[in-house]
Amino acid sequence: MTSLSSVTRGNILAYGGLATPLAMIGYPIAIWLIPFYSEVVGIPLYIIANILLIARFTDVITDPILGQLGDSTRTPIGRRKPWIILGVPLMMLAIYKLFIPGTEVSIAYFVIWMMLMYLGSTIIGIPYGAWGAEISPDYHQRSRVVGGREGWTLIGLLISALIPLAIEVSGQGISFSDSIKRMLAAIFIFQDFSTSGKMTDILASMGLGIVILLPIFAGLALWKVPDPMPKVEKKIPLVEGLKYAAENPLLIRILLIIFLVIAGESFRNTLSLWFVRDVVGIETVGASYARYFIAGLIGIPFWLWLGKTLGKHKAFCITLVGTGTVSFLCFFLERGDFNQFHALFLIKGFCFGGLQFLPASMLADVVDLDSLKTGGRRAGTFFALNGMIAKVSAMIAVWAAAILVAFSGFVPGTENTDSAMLALRVYYCLGCAAFFVPALFLTWFYPLTKEKHKELRAQLESQNAETEVTSAD
């Protein structure tokens, strides 16, 4: 295991950098992909919802298998890096096909490339998350590693918001310098511009950006960051490992928290573009998200400090309260309330920084508890379970949000009835409360505090030392 002193700022930056293109994938899928395939390609919303449900369901099978394979991998370059090398080209191809689909797109085409994209995401994402948990064993150093990764995540999200903004403010007869001025005006003085008919160019530009940046950042992480192999490890079969996991109440608790929070966020994100554009009346959605992610970046040092001061779980509770309050207040916005929306969205963005990295850092601490009980180092299995839970949660929430607004009469890209618009408003603003309230209760009484984790690490180090002596004998 890498020692605390050997984890340099360069290691953290190089490791976190890979999160940039991965985040650039997540944002358009969450915000732009469903509107594109429903409004531009013309696939009915309820069919898209069912396709995404089917495509995501494969992760229930692949995630724990790939987590176990990652934990069992032994190569000269480590056990996480080979899987990332395998996943990058698959992801690049799938993103290209999904984001630049051409003129003839069938339902089968959408299903196949969505499933391959999710598979590539699993092959990269599970070892990447486990790798971050293994770089350092220290409670606060892990927050630095995960916080650094989530900082890069927000940079990726910011880039992916600036790309559509650049397309939104540009056009025939508009010079490059004028486009820059229009971008700055949209971000900093909240100026709005017409964006009609630009969704195809927006998605294609984001796809090309991902295809270019993914191999670059993956190469830097593979080159610069050590992939530490545990000194002492008991091999645990997959079925036995899942049995141990099911008997770990702390793991069940943190996974349930993650399930609820991701469900709430995914439910709202599915409806976000339509709420911002069709309810509030803002057309330059990219500018709104650019400010949102800038606020998230600014917020990360604060959430790191708060997590260190109060404990990660209490800091996370504050992010949940802030996020939920903003969503509730959005219910009272009327069309044309641009300034009020921008203020609320900035607060939500600031909370987003903590919402991103605190649960992952808490999960990394739970790996230590499992190691003490089982003698294994199964970060891959744990982050596979986390990935599976996150994907199932998002799958159900995205499907539910799309189905609910579709059955309420909402049709993307058309003039909708008052009742359909009211349904959109209710689901966007209040839907997340059904998930965040129980998550808040579970998090507030979370038992693994920083003091208890320090005791846990001491016991684990003692256990490892005893095992090493026994092995030597």
Q: Buried b / exposed e across 414-446, counting CB within 10 Å, b at 16+?
A: eebeeebbebbbebbbebbeebbeebbebbeeb
pTM, 2 dp: 0.75
Across 65-83, average pLDDT: 80
Integer angstrom CA distances of residue 181 from 170, 209, 286, 361, 378: 10, 22, 15, 39, 50
- Asked if 391 and 59 touch (Cβ cutoff 8 Å), the reply is yes
60-74, 100-114, 324-338, 433-447: lowest mean pLDDT where?
60-74
* Collapsed DSSP state (helix, strand, coil) of residue 332: coil
23-37, 197-211, 231-245: lowest mean pLDDT where?
231-245
DSSP state of 135: S
**Residue the block writes with tokens 């290691």:** 11
The percent of the chain in helix, strand and coil, each rounded to the nearest 5, is 80, 0, 20
pLDDT higher than threshold 50 for residue 166? yes
**Residue the block writes with tokens 């490059």:** 176
DSSP state of 235: -
Which ranges in 74-138 belong to alpha helices (H)? 81-99, 107-134
CB neighbours of residue 284 within 10 Å: 25
Q: How many CA atoms lie within 13 A of 434 on its CB side?
A: 13
- Asked if 209 and 166 touch (Cβ cutoff 8 Å), the reply is no
Taken in order 93, 94, 96, 102, the sign of the CA dihedral is positive
Across 165-190, average pLDDT: 85
- Residue 283, judged by CB atoms within 10 A of its CB (0-12, 13-18, 19+), counts as middle
* Pairwise pLDDT comparison (120 vs 365), residue with the higher score: 120
pLDDT higher than threshold 80 for residue 401? yes
Integer angstrom CA distances of residue 378 from 91, 360, 387, 463: 25, 15, 14, 16
Q: What is the pLDDT of residue 285?
A: 86
Q: How confident is the model at residue 358 (pLDDT cuts 50, 70, 90)?
A: confident
Whole-number average pLDDT of the chain: 82
Token pair for 9: 């700022």
Q: How confident is the model at residue 371 (pLDDT cuts 50, 70, 90)?
A: low
